[in-house]
Amino acid sequence: MGDLLYDQTTSYLTVEGAYISPIDFPSRISGNFPSAVIVKESLTFALTSNQNTVFRRDQKYGQYYAPRLYKIFIALPYFELTGDLLLPGRTTPQILLTSKTEGFLTLLDVTAQVVTRPEITYQGEACIVCKNKVSFVGLLD
């Protein structure tokens, strides 16, 4: 998933086995599709239970500087996320957020909470967040 989302040569993703449900009523499936196309720019975030799927090839294999984790809070339309932002050694969250080179952020150990219904939360080992959808970022440590 990471290589596909970070790939700047395509503006969409093709997925298999997609379903759709209201944000505030996730157990109500309003549509089930054998395949679907998602426009990357309109994707808010993609949450997964497998951490390995969110990394690009260059993130998976050796880096010159050891990566650092930052505890972070992110406000998005309809959701608030908390998790760990993984960055290469000398990169800071400020540099990453203002950089135009990447359209997404990679978070680990993520909790996503629905803003209008705080009792609804989603958890995953990792997620990829569209930077264009981010309205607020706070460092938690």
d(CA 71, CA 121): 18
d(CA 28, CA 21): 6
pLDDT of residue 50: 85
- The CA radius of gyration of the chain, in Å to the nearest whole number, is 15
Domain holding 134: CATH number?
A: 2.30.30.100
Whether residue 116 is contained in a domain is answered as yes
- pTM metric for this prediction: 0.82
Whether residue 35 is contained in a domain is answered as no
Tell me which residue has tokens 């540099």: 95
Domain count, the chain: 1
Whether residue 25 is contained in a domain is answered as no
Residue-wise pLDDT tens digits, 29-86:
999 999 999 999 899 998 888 887 776 665 655 555 567 788 999 999 999 999 998 7
d(CA 130, CA 128): 7
Q: H or E segment at 14?
A: strand 12-20
pLDDT of residue 99: 67
Residue-wise pLDDT tens digits, 97-134:
666 667 888 899 999 999 999 999 999 999 999 998 99
Lowest mean per-residue pLDDT among 32-41, 88-97, 132-141: 88-97
